[in-house]
Structure formats: structure tokens, C-alpha cells
């Protein structure tokens, strides 16, 4: 019949671009969304899933009747399962236990085997979903690991399809694209293509609090990851498919911001999208609010809402997890103003003995280490104490030998609620404004701030 497609895979792509109205009313830029949840498998991951299968078929790795194994948060699994159903492959998916039950049931609906593993373990732990997937491939004859975190077919899909699509749909009239970062395939592929057309296009990443990407982009150092509730993006390691060379800026969002913006996206714009989509819109508005001139900003909405009905759109779940409680008002800058103190910083070549003297003189318990304006580490009194107790003549060692990376970088304009989430992860917060370190905050600073606000309200 005329106009009919040969199979569901041919329905992939050409997802619409839509302007945001209500949610973008407070910024001067035009903010648009690309509705990737309208792909047939329900997410942006349809594109790399098919590309990975086709490339494995082309090089002979995937043979007829074979098995596709993948560690997935759900969306890549859906894309792989959809393509496998058409092509006659079996699928085994390994998912962390924080993922919604809807995702697990959807994958099983395709006939896939789903294995659930603990979320709060390191990537090298044999119980992690990465390691379980690798073992499953080794134990399964005629199996391949889709390996979205390191497979070049992942970003390649966006170089070949999503990037050119955006350029054609916008007529090149796009100034910035805001994209959630997980495997890095979407942001790396789109960024590579768009910058090949116009090097001035800004590529902006969005990262959840608890993930490592924001701090790595700011400091070049890998910090300790912590768990978070929002699904589908953020990581605790650097995937091989993540190319920071095409990333111009990164903004950070909290779980609470992600979920509340997702609900607003549905209720104010009529866009039935999921948690990472709310995160993307929140990140785009945050970034737009810092721009000095109006721009055309596009953000990618990765997936739809149907897989999150038992979580984000369930008031009881939201309330039980503290996401419907009112935030305490104020910003990071307000917290700093409440407890003003001089910023002390050092270079990596300073000796431990010199740093001890600085801490004593300025009555501080932690000092950031700077290379020019780049933050390369943080030394605390605990770090110094361990070294001085354990080693002989350690006072002459450069402080870089004992510096830690368990810190987070925030800006004065960030909310005090975000500061609270980061401090709850036992991180020290270094405050940076326009590239300059302007403060260091710890739990007691926020405790004093909240206490004083409570007293003034009584």
C-alpha cells in the first residue's frame, strides 16, 4: 500500500521540534525541544541501538539466531529489543535496581530476559550491571555485548542521523543544544556533527547531582560518585563514548528539580515526557538564564512519561522521597553572605608544612588547590593529619600528594536546596563565580544558614 513502511524500524527519526512557551517565559531566549520520545521504541536510544546491531552484522560479530546482551537503564534495551524482534535475535538485559518497574515489564514484553542488579556498587564490582553483562556474554554462545558505553556506533548514530536532522529542521538557525549526558553518545555525536557545520554552536551538557561529569568538566579530576534517583543519565565513570572536546558547558540539576520540571512539562506544555526530559528542560532554562543575548536553544527530550507513572507521576512516591516538600528559600550566595570569610587557596607545589601554617593562620579546615583558575584538588585537615601521623618527615612533601577530589563545584546563583543535596553526600563545596573561587562551604555553614532563617521566621 502506498505510504506504508516496511517495518517499525523505518518509523525511526524525523522527530518534531516544538517551542516551549510557559516554561521559558522568564528567559529572553527561544527554547525548543526535540521530541525524541516519539521514536517507535519511545526514546532517543532507538537510533544507536539499531546502528550498533547493523554494525555488528556488517563486521560478522552478530550472526543469525545470536543473542544481544546489554547493561541498560531501559531505553537502549527497548531499542535493541525492538530491532531484535524484527531481525530474529534474542536479548538479555542487565538493569540497576533503581529503574522503574514499567521499564522491566516493557523489556520482558518483547521476550527479553531481564536481570536486576544493585545500584549502589562501583562499576568494577562484580555485582554491577556492567560486570554482570560482561559475564553473561562470556557464558552465552553466539552472544555480543552491545556495549553502548564504549561502542563507537553509539555516537556514530547521532552523527549520521540526529545531527543532520537538527541542522535540516532548523535551517541551521540553532545557537545551542542542551543534552543530558549518560553514555555520552548523544551529546558527542550531535556535537560533532553540528560543530562541523558551525563551530560556534554551543553544546551544553546536563548532569545530575551525584554523577561525575559536572565536576570532571570543571576540574579535570574524577570525583566520587553518589547515588541519585533520576534515571537514564549521569555516570560514576567516564564512558569511552563521551567526548568532552565538543562540550562547551555543563549545568547540574538535582533529583527534585528533575522531577518537578518533568511534572511541569506535562501540565504546562502538554508534553508527556520522562524524568531525563524534565532534567533537560530544567538545564536548558538554567543555561538560558545566564546568557546575555537572546539565542535559539534546543534541548533533546530523551524519553516519554509512560515508564515513570509509578514514580515521578505518583504523588505518594514523590512525597515519600521528599520531592513534594517545600524547599527552604535562598541561594548558595545567600549562605556565603551569612558566614563571610576570606578565601584561601594554594598551588600543588606548596608543602604540607606550609599548608598547616596557612590553616592555622586563617582558621580554616580545608583549602582548594588551584592551577591558575582551574581547581585541581582539595586538601583538608583530615588529609594532613593522616599523612603526618603515618609518615616520617612528611612535612616537606608537596600537598598534591595528599589532596583529595571529593568536592563539588557550585555557583553563587545555585539554590541552597542544591547545596543541601551535595553536602548530604559528604562533599565539601567549592564556590566558583565567573571562573574564580569565591568560597568554600561545609555542612556547618548550611546548618547556621537554615537555623538563622528559622529563627527569623518565628
pTM of structure: 0.79
pLDDT of residue 337: 85
**Parallel, antiparallel or unpaired: strands 17-19 and 30-35:** antiparallel
User: Which residues of the chain form CATH 3.10.580.10?
Assistant: 332-457
CATH code, 332-457: 3.10.580.10
386 is catalytic: no
User: Which residues of the chain form CATH 3.40.50.1100?
Assistant: 29-38+168-320, 46-145
Q: Are 109 and 137 in contact (CB under 8 A)?
A: no
End-to-end Cα, the chain, rounded Å: 73
Give the angle subtended at the CA of 401 by the CAs of 399 and 403, to the nearest 5°.
Answer: 65
Spatial distance between the Cα atoms of 261 and 16, rounded to a whole number of angstroms = 20
Which 3 state secondary structure label does DSSP give 68?
strand
pLDDT of residue 120: 78
**Residue 439 bridge partners (DSSP):** 431
29-38+168-320 folds as Rossmann fold (3.40.50)
Question: What cell numbers appear for 444 in the block?
Answer: 556547618
One digit per residue, pLDDT tens: the chain, 458 residues? 998 999 999 999 999 999 999 999 999 999 999 999 999 999 999 999 999 999 999 999 999 999 999 988 789 999 999 999 999 999 999 988 888 888 889 899 999 999 999 887 877 888 888 899 999 999 999 999 999 999 999 999 999 999 999 999 999 999 999 999 999 999 999 999 999 999 999 999 999 999 999 999 998 988 888 888 898 899 989 999 999 999 999 999 999 999 999 999 999 999 999 999 999 999 999 999 999 999 999 999 999 998 899 899 998 899 888 888 655 668 888 888 887 777 888 887 888 888 788 888 888 878 888 877 788 888 877 777 777 776 655 667 787 777 777 788 888 888 888 888 888 887 888 888 877 888 888 888 888 888 777 666 55
Spatial distance between the Cα atoms of 201 and 344, rounded to a whole number of angstroms = 37
Closest CA to 269 of 251, 287, 281, 283: 281
User: Catalytic residue among 34, 45, 256, 286, which?
Assistant: 45
**Residue 430 bridge partners (DSSP):** 409, 440
Give me the architecture of the 46-145 domain, per CATH.
3-Layer(aba) Sandwich (3.40)
* Neighbouring residues of 32: CB distance < 8 A, sequence distance ≥ 6: 17, 18, 19, 20, 296, 297, 298, 299
In 3-state terms the chain splits into helix, strand, coil percentages (rounded to 5) of 40, 20, 40
Closest CA to 165 of 319, 72, 34: 34
Amino acid at each position: 500500500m502506498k505510504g506504508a513502511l516496511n517495518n517499525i524500524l523505518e518509523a525511526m527519526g524525523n522527530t518534531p521540534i516544538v517551542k516551549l512557551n510557559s516554561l521559558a517565559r522568564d528567559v529572553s531566549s527561544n527554547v525548543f525541544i526535540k521530541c525524541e520520545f516519539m521514536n517507535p521504541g519511545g526514546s532517543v536510544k532507538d537510533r544507536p541501538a539499531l546502528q550498533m546491531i547493523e554494525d555488528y552484522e556488517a563486521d560478522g560479530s552478530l550472526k543469525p539466531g545470536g543473542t544481544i546482551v546489554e547493561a541498560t537503564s531501559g531505553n537502549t534495551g527497548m531499542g535493541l529489543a525492538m530491532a531484535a524482534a524484527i531481525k530474529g535475535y534474542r536479548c538479555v538485559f542487565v538493569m540497576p535496581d533503581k529503574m522503574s518497574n514499567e521499564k522491566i515489564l516493557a523489556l520482558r514484553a518483547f521476550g527479553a530476559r531481564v536481570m536486576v542488579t544493585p545500584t549502589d556498587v562501583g562499576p568494577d564490582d562484580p555485582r554491577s550491571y556492567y560486570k554482570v553483562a560482561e559475564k553473561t556474554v562470556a557464558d552465552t554462545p553466539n552472544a555480543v555485548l552491545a556495549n553502548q558505553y564504549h561502542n563507537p556506533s553509539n555516537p556514530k548514530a547521532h552523527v549520521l542521523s540526529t545531527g543532520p536532522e537538527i541542522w535540516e529542521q532548523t535551517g541551521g538557525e540553532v545557537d545551542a543544544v542542551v543534552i543530558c549526558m549518560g553514555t555520552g553518545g548523544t551529546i558527542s555525536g550531535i556535537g560533532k556533527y553540528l560543530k562541523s557545520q558551525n563551530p560556534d554552536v554551543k553544546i551544553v551538557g546536563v548532569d545530575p547531582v551525584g554523577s561525575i561529569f559536572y565536576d570532571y568538566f570543571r576540574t579535570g579530576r574524577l570525583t566520587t560518585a553518589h547515588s541519585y534517583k533520576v534515571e537514564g543519565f549521569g555516570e560514576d565513570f567516564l564512558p569511552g563514548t563521551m567526548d568532552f572536546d565538543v562540550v562547551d558547558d555543563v549545568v547540574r540539576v538535582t533529583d527534585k528539580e528533575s522531577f518537578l520540571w518533568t511534572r511541569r512539562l506535562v501540565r504546562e506544555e502538554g508534553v508527556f515526557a520522562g524524568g531525563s526530559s524534565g532534567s533537560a528542560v530544567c538545564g536548558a532554562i538554567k543555561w538560558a538564564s545566564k546568557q546575555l543575548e537572546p539565542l535559539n536553544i534546543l534541548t533533546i527530550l530523551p524519553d516519554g512519561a509512560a515508564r515513570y507513572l509509578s514514580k515521578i507521576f505518583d504523588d505518594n512516591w514523590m512525597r515519600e522521597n521528599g520531592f513534594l516538600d517545600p524547599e527552604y528559600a535562598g541561594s548558595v550566595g545567600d549562605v556565603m553572605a551569612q558566614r563571610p570569610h576570606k578565601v584561601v587557596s594554594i598551588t600543588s607545589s606548596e608543602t604540607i608544612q606550609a599548608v598547616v601554617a596557612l590553616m592555622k593562620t586563617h582558621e580554616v579546615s580545608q583549602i582548594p588547590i588551584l592551577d591558575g583558575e582551574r581547581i585541581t584538588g582539595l586538601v583538608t585537615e583530615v588529609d594532613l593529619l593522616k599523612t603526618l601521623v603515618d609518615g616520617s618527615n612528611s612535612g616537606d612533601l608537596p600537598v598534591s600528594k595528599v589532596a583529595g577530589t571529593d568536592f563539588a563545584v557550585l555557583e553563587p546563583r545555585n539554590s541552597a536546596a542544591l547545596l543541601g543535596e551535595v553536602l548530604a553526600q559528604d562533599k565539601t563545596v567549592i564556590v566558583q563565580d565567573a571562573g574564580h573561587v569565591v568560597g568554600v562551604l561545609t555542612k556547618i555553614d548550611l546548618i547556621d544558614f537554615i537555623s538563622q532563617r528559622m529563627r527569623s521566621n518565628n
